[in-house]
Amino acid sequence: MSDLGHVLVLAGGLSYEREVSLRSGRRVSEVLRAAGIDVETRDTDASLVPSILADPPDAVFVTLHGGAGEDGAIRSVLELLGVPYVGADPDACRVAFDKPTAKAVVRSVGLHTPQSVTLPKETFHDLGATVVLGRIVERLGLPLFVKPAQGGSALGASIVRTAEELPAAMVGCFAYGDTALIERYVEGVEVAVSVVDLGHGPVALPPVEIVPDEGVYDYAARYTAGHTEFFAPARLSPEIAAACAETAVTAHTALGLRDVSRTDLIVDASGQPHFLEVNVAPGMTETSLLPMAAEAAGQDLGDLCRILLTRAAARARS
């Protein structure tokens, strides 16, 4: 049994990733109960704050994806309530959640990240879409990858292989956010590296290689069993795997993250990892990457979550 009294798992929310968040919350709750912890799972509705004030949990595990779950808003409320939680603080979340800002930070510490342009919807319309998109293709070349500057689960994201595909990709992107990030697409091996700090500093778990059946790791490929093949650990040489691990830990540290994160990378033909984005509330579903990495490391997921919660509670006491 755990020395934690009771913990709260937050899941759901009102972002586009609500269903994934609910699945993550269920998984975390299940493994924590199996580890002997008294767990309550709650959504972020009007009853949340009164319930926390009436019965403060020892610690909170945030499995909210997108929106308030990763932009620091909910964590700011938890800090106002004096409740400890697993994960990065609000300031770090705000930096990491905005992909262009996160790319600028990791580039400043020497990491490779694809050349890109950030374009708000208003600028896209006001300056003339045709002219602006033409310049983007001239500047970055093809193929391109278009995605919302904030958010996750590949919602609104697409590969653009011809100039004619770019307008539709921008429209699809703007359906999920007001700002688009247009990157030079790097061909290579897609890898996710989870980072955890269980008390001895941030450590990378084994990298997970992602091979979607349709060639694109979109929403369906991420959350539908059988649509993607995963290799944990990734089929990389020891030297390249170590470079991926170093990249993820460097990004975690440079962005000021805490406890847990997941960095998404592309390894090009030369073996160079390229930073794409970082997730401060990694998915915890049956098809999510952090649980796969933990299993590959021989780490029980329930034990990992318990240690993270225990450390969060200890932080608050100190």
Cite the active site residues: 17, 153, 288
Strand 38-42 with 6-10, pairing:
parallel
Question: Distance between terminal CA atoms of the chain?
Answer: 23
Tell me the C-alpha to C-alpha distance, in Å, between residue 114 and each of 44, 68, 94, 111, 134. Answer: 35, 27, 21, 10, 19
The residue type of 54 is: A
Least Cα distance to 148 among 84, 191, 97, 104 occurs for: 97
Task: Give CA–CA dist 8/59, Å, rounded.
Answer: 6
Lookup result for tokens 């278009």 = 146
DSSP codes of every residue in 63-98: ---SGGGTSSHHHHHHHHTT--BSS--HHHHHHHHS
Neighbour count for residue 263 (Cβ, 10 Å): 32
Task: Give CA–CA dist 123/129, Å, rounded.
Answer: 9
Q: Which residues are annotated as a binding site?
A: 264, 277, 279
Q: Which residues are annotated as a binding site for Mg(2+)?
A: 264, 277, 279
